[in-house]
Amino acid sequence: MKPVIPDSNATQPEVYFTCLWRKLQTRKNKTWEGDGILCIRGSSCHIKSREDGSQVASGQWASDRECVPGQIYMIGGKEVEIDEAISSKEVEKEFKSSQLDNAVNHTLPTPSQSNKFAPKVDLKFKPPMRPHSLIQPSNSQVDKSKYFVNSTLGHAFNTPSTTLSSGLKRTKVASLALGEVDKLTPKQEPKRFKPLVLEASRGPPETNSAVEEVDQQEVFICLYRKYKASKHLTWDGDGILSLVGSQRGRMAVLKDSGTRKVLGSMLLGRNLNLQNGALVQVGSRQVEIQRPATESELSDFEKNPQGPAGAGWTDIVKNQAPVCDFKDPMIIKRPRTGGPKFNPEADGAIVLMKPSKTWLLKHDLQNATIVDVVVDPSIGKSLRPHQVEGLKFMYECTMGLREVGGHGCILADEMGLGKSIQAISLLWTLLRQNPIAGQGPVIKRAMIVCPVTLVKNWKREIHKWLGRSRLNVFTADGKSDFKQFSSSQYHDVLIIGYEKLRTLSQQVNSIYPPIGLIIADEGHRLKSTEAKTTQALRSLKTKRRVVLSGTPIQNNLTEYFAMIDFINPGILDDYRTFKKKFEQPILKSREPCCNPVQRLQGEARAEELTKMSQHYVLRRGSEVIQEHLPRRYDYCVFISPTTVQRNIYEAVLDSPETRAIFSGDISQHLVLMNKLKLLCNSPGLLMDEYSIKSLGQISSTLFPAWVTRDDIQLSGKLIALAKFLSILKRRNEEKVILGIWLPDQP
């Protein structure tokens, strides 16, 4: 849209547009600072704030410039994005409602509230504040700014009459004009009223209706993210969207569901009907409505605000100037709570081990105050008994509370026992709590090292158990820049693959705050001290190390020493001492030709090593969860091959290659066994040219002309499996298909 520009600015009509504005920003992710109304008259223009009507910026407007919705312009040092055109009547009506809202915000409390809180509140009279834009330099000692309210603009403001308990009306000081205040001297300064109990008189009907409309509130559960132009969008976290009515429409306020921090606000209009799945832009963030909040969630929000007390939507716009002087945040003494983070006496509370006196003396903390470390109930309620035991074991090891010392351990539970949730519980506890009061959390950052194929899985597991907003997770994959993690303190957890860590070990060692905990998943990859991956991990300065491995440690004492020396360096001395003290006597005692002395010495060394291992290695089998699992039924089903399978199988057995194997030539026996295994599963796996040539005299003529590689009718197994899956689908049961090849038994 192009505004009509006559010759003279004085006779030109004004054209109005709604817009968003912000100061000039050079950062990558820019955000808007507020909503405004752009007024264009001839070759000049200015922007007024939609919140208080103040002028934000002004500048020149070229006669040939067009107002394109969505386009960004520079006006008076501000970046402005045009939204839509509005009429002058709508602008006038909006600014009038803005003044009415300011009057409502300054309404005095009701008599019942005044009487209720009168003994606790200092009711000393404070005159209204004068806007900063109207303060003029003067040599007089009279504080002139206290005789104006925010919306006077230098003129008398007819505020609602405020009745004192004595029957007097306080309107004299508030109605002083700008010129009258300039004539005042220190001796003529009006006297202050004595502290009296105030009673707010009823204002006009419109003001009362506005207050009632503001009290109506709707709350929705939603997802939010910053506005991005990327192709693959992800949500940043869970949020709470509150809609509050006002004279200008509905005010939307977005808060984080975990911290209750206000993330943005915006005026959405009057007739806005939000449904599940609707997308709304609030400030600089996109919001997707999930569902309305239930009554239980609303009561939980009120009981656990987790934010500043009384932080409602009216706190977003401050109507009064700050009354406190500036204080350097580095020297402010913030109160510290000396108690536990969670209630240790609550039902089902998981309280971890307290430090002993020996531990306190070792760390020079004899006079420190000890508090209970309680596992977060939101994740503790999901832990089974064996998982609670594993969490306590890892906590005691990483904190150095065990007798053998050290700060590492190996959790070698079998697959399916929940090693991931145990590790996440430990990580979350150390990041948020400390048994020593007043020292902050035990660690500031943690790192999870795993195969590159499991990086995304670990991130999903953390979001599953802790939510998206409680921990900031950084995944060091090929798409992300590691400098985003090393150059800022925003992220709490680093998830990285073994191969990537080998190239970034020096950068990981130099970041601040340093990595306080290392969790190595699939830790059996560290069984060689000469591997580059093991050397990269051993070079890190972090002393708290946890290894997760579902594969048991084999009967190789060299590999055992490598893993133990990684989690607790030096606990078994060096490898030469370990080999002389443990490895050689144990291996000699297991030889068939050993003498009784060697056997007894080897058994004693093995028993000693086993007792030591119990302090930092925890290995449990599936028997610990048998009581939680339904009864298992095993069925062995024999399936006859199809005609095509039988013909090809007989042709392979009669081929010259097979007869040569039985005659003593075993050079091709492994290849033949692999082809027979594929044939038993499905003949379609042998239909490629290479497989046919490897079978010697067998040709593709044995396959019917009408079949394809993916035809399930070629295999008896696939026919039975298809019928089985069809039955499971109709019954809507969970299903897991595992394929395994069992060799023929003699």
CATH number of 381's domain? 3.40.50.10810
pTM attached to this predicted model = 0.50
The mean per-residue pLDDT over the stretch 27-56 comes to 84
The mean per-residue pLDDT over the stretch 548-570 comes to 83
Q: Does 568 lie in the same domain as 687?
A: no
Residue 679 lies in a domain: yes
Task: Write the CA distances from 516 to 340, 376, 705, integer angstroms.
Answer: 21, 20, 64
Q: What Rg do the C-alpha atoms of the chain give, in angstroms?
A: 38
The mean per-residue pLDDT over the stretch 623-632 comes to 81
The helix or strand, by DSSP H or E, that contains position 44, with its residue range, turns out to be strand 44-49
594's tokens = 């050993």
Residues listed for the chain: 746
Pairing of strands 493-497, 44-49: unpaired
CATH number at residue 239: 2.30.29
CA distance 667 to 518: 47
Q: Does 647 lie in the same domain as 598?
A: no
Pairing of strands 493-497, 446-450: parallel
Q: State residue 153's pLDDT score.
A: 39
697 exposure class (CB count in 10 Å sphere: 0-12, 13-18, 19+): exposed
Q: Does 708 lie in the same domain as 604?
A: no
Identify the CA nearest to 287 among candidates 219, 231, 238. Answer: 238
Domain that holds residue 270: 216-315
Q: Does 399 lie in the same domain as 257?
A: no
Task: Write the CA distances from 676 to 262, 636, 700, integer angstroms.
Answer: 66, 21, 16
Which of 147-156, 560-569, 675-684 is the most confident on average?
560-569
Mean pLDDT of the chain: 75
Among the candidates 64, 86, 108, a domain finishes at 86
Cβ atoms within 10 A of the Cβ of 440, count? 11
Those residues whose C-beta lies under 8 Å from the C-beta of residue 381, and which sit 6 or more positions away, are: 348
Q: Does 382 lie in the same domain as 490?
A: yes
Q: How far out from the chain centre does Cα 254 lie?
A: 17
Q: Is the peptide bond before 190 cis (omega within 30 degrees of 0)?
A: no
Q: Does 527 lie in the same domain as 399?
A: yes
Q: Is the pLDDT of residue 7 over 60?
A: no
Identify the CA nearest to 115 among candidates 196, 195, 197. Answer: 197
Residue 436 lies in a domain: yes
**Domains contained in the chain, number:** 4
Q: State residue 543's pLDDT score.
A: 92
Q: State residue 251's pLDDT score.
A: 81
Confidence of residue 126 (pLDDT cuts 50, 70, 90): low
Q: Does 662 lie in the same domain as 613?
A: no
Cβ atoms within 10 A of the Cβ of 310, count? 8
Which of 141-155, 175-189, 330-344, 486-500 is the most confident on average?
486-500
The mean per-residue pLDDT over the stretch 339-367 comes to 89
Identify the CA nearest to 437 among candidates 374, 372, 369, 373. Answer: 369
Among the candidates 268, 300, 315, a domain finishes at 315
Cβ atoms within 10 A of the Cβ of 552, count? 11
